[in-house]
């Protein structure tokens, strides 16, 4: 039995669809970034999205919490369709957490305040409750002792773990990761990946744009390869890495797996 | 050792230079029969001043001219800082607007007024805009009781009648109550998470309570309307064109610089901050208030400080159009009449120094409070 089957065996994937993209198109001016994207994500599923830069993978996951607008097609998250309606957008953003390549922590707030901001102002939680919840998540990402420090005083890996904890404080059903380890020094990548693996084991629905193929092999149920704004290939990790079907996938894999 | 020698030499040189100037001045003053010291401040001034915030006529002392000039300077500086800040923030945000026309207009405003010398702008508003206005008899009327002519802007002035103190008491009460409510709302949010429309409630209190007192006390306020007589307007209050021109020029000129400071401050906060806040579910208004503005302020404040200092010091250009500020009145007329150059100039410089240091100290204190902690 391979490692990946081991891991996925522990984690249940349900049948109900939590994110649905149907015929999604997006343009930046004349540039066609997303071309007819169709994707169903099931509850508890962990999807890794890879592909060359400019292939539209970040844009796609940023459409899921409406940081980018799609111009054609439908995106339905947890039963709420993303339209211009602010209420729908609020609803979706409350349920979907996101972790960015450059952490985007608020530098003028302490780690604890970073984590409490949204629960207090969006979920209308009492401060003491919000702080208690935040400490719980900071312990989960193993940096409760940094709670009173400011982001500028932490290392990159620590900052990214705070960013993960900050998202979790909103109790999201779905987590989006936009190249979470790309801006980190090599020695810090592992601590962030470990946190993400733990999160996956807790049954969180996750969409990760990443080039960490080891992570894809251990954690993902499905790997999606995008190029030129299209989904070229999707498969479960073993098949994907061992028997890629399209030539573009083979080329991409040969380039990133060389080392 | 050698550097110590040169340092001592330098100090000695500067000391000797200062001493020579001091001796030379004393000698010259003595020769002209001018006594040194501040005794002249008690002498009668014997000249009138165009605009005074405190009672003044020819029989008051030179000391009083100092006070009149100082108050006029403080008036134009305070009003200028207020208007420049408002203009600056509006224009700075407007320049970043997604609306093409709005951002273009703001850009044109900023680039035009930033790049024309201030003195020229003061003269423009005074000689080209306000002086050529028609005389009092052909005043431009705005409504029934506001007149604009080449002698100034005539406005109704309030006359407080008996019982007006009730309104003031009500206002004070409303302010105190608002502060208490804000505290209570903050604590309640800490405990229960419920939010409260503090701003709305405080606003309606501060407006409503005095209004109620005003009505209950039988409206103890009347207006003294300016009226057109044969040759001039009487009654009401008047904003003299010198003040209007100086204030307009200072506000618009400094506002253009503040707009740039505001723009750079907002741009300095990366777009990732907005995205992170949005991704957490925060609304645009909350994001601006809790995430963007606190970070933008730390870039804006130092530049704002230097613009406030500039405005205060630039207000001394009042002399060019005859607005009776400290420099025009005290370092101008009073100095000419008394010849007490050393004392007068020293006092005037001390005033600007104190005002500038005061502003600077306050802004530094504020800046320190909002500074970021880095490693």
Output the pLDDT for position B161.
82
| Torsion, Cα of B148, B151, B154, B158 (10° steps) | 170
Instruction: Give the nearest partner residue to A107 out of B189, B278, B295, using CB atoms.
Output: B295
Q: How many angstroms from the chain centroid is the CA of residue A172?
A: 11
Output the pLDDT for position B304.
92
| Substitution target from A118, A128, A134, A175 for chain B, most B beta carbons within 10 A | A118
Output the pLDDT for position B258.
96
CA B205/CA B183 separation, integer angstroms: 15
Contacts of B38 (CB under 8 A, 6+ apart): B343
Predicted TM-score (pTM) of this structure: 0.77
Output the pLDDT for position B227.
80
Is residue A167 within 8 A of residue A175, CB to CB? The reply is yes
Contacts 24+ apart (CB under 8 A), B167-174: B167/B210, B167/B213, B167/B214, B167/B217, B167/B220, B167/B221, B168/B210, B169/B213, B170/B209, B170/B210, B170/B212, B170/B213, B170/B214, B171/B206, B171/B209, B171/B210, B173/B209, B174/B205, B174/B206, B174/B208, B174/B209, B174/B210
Is residue B213 within 8 A of residue B169, CB to CB? The reply is yes
Which residue reads 């103190």 in tokens? B165
Count the neighbouring beta carbons within 10 Å of the beta carbon of residue B372: 13
- Answer whether A150 sits within 8 Å of B373, measured CB to CB: yes
Helix (H, G, I), strand (E, B) or coil at A33: strand
CA B84/CA B304 separation, integer angstroms: 10
Contacts of B75 (CB under 8 A, 6+ apart): B53, B243
Output the pLDDT for position A147.
94
Contacts of A153 in chain B (CB under 8 A): 373-375
CA B242/CA B251 separation, integer angstroms: 14
Phi and psi angles of residue A167, each rounded to the nearest 5 degrees, phi first: -65, -40
Which residue reads 């539209």 in tokens? A56
Contacts 24+ apart (CB under 8 A), B167-173: B167/B210, B167/B213, B167/B214, B167/B217, B167/B220, B167/B221, B168/B210, B169/B213, B170/B209, B170/B210, B170/B212, B170/B213, B170/B214, B171/B206, B171/B209, B171/B210, B173/B209
Residue among B159, B147, B153, B160 at smallest CA distance from B229: B147
Output the pLDDT for position A1.
35
Residue among A115, A170, A122 at smallest CA distance from A143: A115
CA A176/CA A92 separation, integer angstroms: 12
Domain ranges (residues) in chain B = 54-131+240-373, 167-216
Pairing of strands B157-160, B221-224: antiparallel
Output the pLDDT for position A7.
46
Output the pLDDT for position B105.
96
What is B36-88 written as a DSSP string? PSSGGGGSB-----S--SS---TTSBHHHHHHHHHHHHHHHHHHHHHHHHHHH
- The alpha carbon dihedral of B141, B142, B148, B153 has a sign of positive
Below-50 pLDDT ranges, chain B: 375
Output the pLDDT for position A204.
93
pLDDT tens digits for range B282-311: 998 899 889 998 899 888 988 999 999 999
CA B321/CA B319 separation, integer angstroms: 6
Counting beta carbons within 10 angstroms of the beta carbon of residue B259, is it exposed (0 to 12), middle (13 to 18) or buried (19 or more)?
buried
Query: What is the widest separation between alpha-carbon atoms in chain A?
Result: 55
B37: left (phi over 0), alpha (psi -120 to 50) or beta: left
Instruction: Give the nearest partner residue to B192 out of A67, A100, A126, using CB atoms.
Output: A126
- Both tokens of B301, joined, read 């404040």
Phi and psi angles of residue B59, each rounded to the nearest 5 degrees, phi first: -85, -10
Counting beta carbons within 10 angstroms of the beta carbon of residue B5, is it exposed (0 to 12), middle (13 to 18) or buried (19 or more)?
exposed
- Answer whether B291 sits within 8 Å of A124, measured CB to CB: no
Contacts of A177 (CB under 8 A, 6+ apart): A98, A99, A196, A206, A207, A208, A209, A210
| Substitution target from B281, B283, B288, B290 for chain A, most A beta carbons within 10 A | B281
- Answer whether A104 sits within 8 Å of B275, measured CB to CB: yes
Output the pLDDT for position A228.
92
CA A197/CA A164 separation, integer angstroms: 12
- Answer whether B279 sits within 8 Å of A65, measured CB to CB: yes
Helix (H, G, I), strand (E, B) or coil at A2: coil
Instruction: Give the nearest partner residue to A153 out of B276, B278, B373, using CB atoms.
Output: B373
Instruction: Please tell me the CATH code under which domain B54-131+240-373 is placed.
Output: 1.10.3720.10
CA B203/CA A23 separation, integer angstroms: 50
Residue among A121, A150, A183 at smallest CA distance from B295: A150
Is residue B98 within 8 A of residue B82, CB to CB? The reply is no
CA A38/CA A231 separation, integer angstroms: 8
Chain B interface residues facing chain A, Cβ-Cβ under 8 Å?
189-195, 270, 272-273, 275-283, 286, 290-291, 294-295, 298, 370, 372-375
CA B153/CA A86 separation, integer angstroms: 48
CA B254 to chain A, closest CA, distance in angstroms equals: 29
Chain A interface residues facing chain B, Cβ-Cβ under 8 Å?
65, 67, 90, 93-94, 96-98, 100, 102, 104-108, 117-118, 120-130, 149-150, 152-153, 163, 166-167, 170
Contacts of B280 in chain A (CB under 8 A): 93, 97, 117-118, 122, 166-167, 170
Is residue A149 within 8 A of residue B371, CB to CB? The reply is no
- Answer whether B195 sits within 8 Å of A108, measured CB to CB: no
SS3 content of chain A, % helix, strand, coil (to 5): 40, 25, 35
Output the pLDDT for position B340.
85
The separation between the first and the last C-alpha atoms of chain A, rounded to the nearest angstrom, is 25
Calculate the alpha carbon distances from B90 to A156, B95, B116, B118, B251 in Å: 37, 9, 21, 21, 13
Contacts of B134 (CB under 8 A, 6+ apart): B140, B149, B150
Rounded to 5°, the CA angle A120-A123-A128 comes to 40
Is residue B130 within 8 A of residue B150, CB to CB? The reply is yes
CA B371/CA A108 separation, integer angstroms: 8
B187: left (phi over 0), alpha (psi -120 to 50) or beta: alpha
- Per-residue pLDDT of chain A (259 residues), as tens digits, is 344 444 444 456 777 889 999 999 999 989 999 999 999 999 999 999 999 988 999 999 999 999 999 999 999 999 999 998 999 999 999 999 999 999 999 999 999 999 999 999 999 999 999 999 999 999 999 999 999 999 999 999 999 999 999 999 999 999 999 999 999 998 899 999 999 999 999 989 999 999 888 899 989 999 999 999 999 999 999 999 999 999 999 999 888 876 5
The separation between the first and the last C-alpha atoms of chain B, rounded to the nearest angstrom, is 39
């Amino acid at each position: 039995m391979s490692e990946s089957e081991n891991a996925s065996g522990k984690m249940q994937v349900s049948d109900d669809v939590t994110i649905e993209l149907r015929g999604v198109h997006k343009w930046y001016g004349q540039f066609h970034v997303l071309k007819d994207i169709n994707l169903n994500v099931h509850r508890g599923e962990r999807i890794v999205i890879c592909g060359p830069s400019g292939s539209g993978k970040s844009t796609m996951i940023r459409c899921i919490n409406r940081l980018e607008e799609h111009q054609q097609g439908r995106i339905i998250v947890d039963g709420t369709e993303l339209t211009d309606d602010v209420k729908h957008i609020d609803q979706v953003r409350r349920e979907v957490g996101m972790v960015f390549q450059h952490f985007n922590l608020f530098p003028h707030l302490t780690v604890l305040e970073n984590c409490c901001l949204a629960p207090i102002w969006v979920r209308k939680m009492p401060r003491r409750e919000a702080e208690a919840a935040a400490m719980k998540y900071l312990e989960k990402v193993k940096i409760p002792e940094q709670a009173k420090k400011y982001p500028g005083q932490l290392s990159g890996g620590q900052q990214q773990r705070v960013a993960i904890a900050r998202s979790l404080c909103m109790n999201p059903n779905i987590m989006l990761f936009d190249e979470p380890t790309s801006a980190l020094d090599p020695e810090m990548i592992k601590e962030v990946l470990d946190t993400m693996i733990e999160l996956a084991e807790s049954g969180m629905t996750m969409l990760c744009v990443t080039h960490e193929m080891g992570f894809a092999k251990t954690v993902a149920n499905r790997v999606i390869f995008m190029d030129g704004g299209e989904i070229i290939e999707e498969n479960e990790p073993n098949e994907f890495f061992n028997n890629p079907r399209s030539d573009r996938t083979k080329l991409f894999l040969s380039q990133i797996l060389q080392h | 050792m050698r550097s110590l020698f040169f340092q001592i030499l330098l100090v000695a040189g500067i000391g000797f230079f200062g001493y020579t100037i001091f001796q030379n001045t004393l000698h010259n003053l003595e020769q002209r029969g001018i006594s040194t010291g501040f005794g002249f401040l008690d002498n009668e001034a014997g000249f009138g001043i165009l605009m005074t915030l405190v009672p003044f006529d020819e029989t008051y002392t030179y000391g009083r001219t100092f006070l009149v000039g100082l108050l006029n300077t403080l008036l134009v500086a305070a009003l200028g800082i207020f208007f420049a800040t408002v203009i600056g923030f509006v224009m700075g945000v407007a320049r970043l607007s997604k609306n093409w026309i709005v951002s273009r207009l703001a850009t044109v405003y900023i680039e035009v007024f930033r790049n024309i010398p201030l003195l020229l702008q003061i003269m423009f508003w005074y000689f080209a805009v306000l002086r050529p206005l028609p005389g009092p008899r052909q005043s431009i009327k705005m409504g029934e009781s506001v007149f604009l002519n080449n002698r100034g802007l005539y406005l109704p002035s309030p006359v407080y009648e008996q019982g007006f103190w009730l309104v003031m008491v009500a206002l004070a009460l409303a302010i105190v109550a608002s502060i208490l409510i804000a505290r209570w709302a903050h604590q309640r949010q800490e405990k229960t998470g419920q939010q409260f429309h503090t701003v709305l409630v405080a606003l309606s209190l501060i407006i409503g309570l005095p209004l109620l007192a005003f009505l209950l006390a039988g409206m103890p306020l009347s207006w003294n309307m300016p009226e057109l007589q044969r040759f001039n307007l009487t009654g009401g209050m008047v904003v003299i064109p010198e003040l209007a021109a100086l204030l307009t020029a200072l506000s618009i000129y400094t506002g253009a610089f503040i707009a740039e400071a505001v723009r750079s401050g907002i741009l300095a906060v990366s777009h990732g901050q907005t995205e992170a806040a949005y991704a957490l579910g925060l609304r645009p208004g909350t994001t601006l208030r809790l995430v963007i503005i606190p970070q933008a302020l730390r870039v804006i404040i130092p530049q704002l400080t230097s613009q406030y200092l500039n405005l205060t010091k630039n207000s001394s250009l009042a002399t060019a159009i005859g607005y009776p500020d400290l420099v025009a009145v005290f370092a101008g007329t009073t100095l000419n009449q008394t010849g007490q150059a050393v004392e007068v100039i020293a006092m005037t410089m001390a005033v600007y120094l104190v005002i500038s240091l005061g502003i600077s100290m306050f802004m530094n204190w504020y800046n320190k409070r909002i500074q970021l902690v880095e490693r």
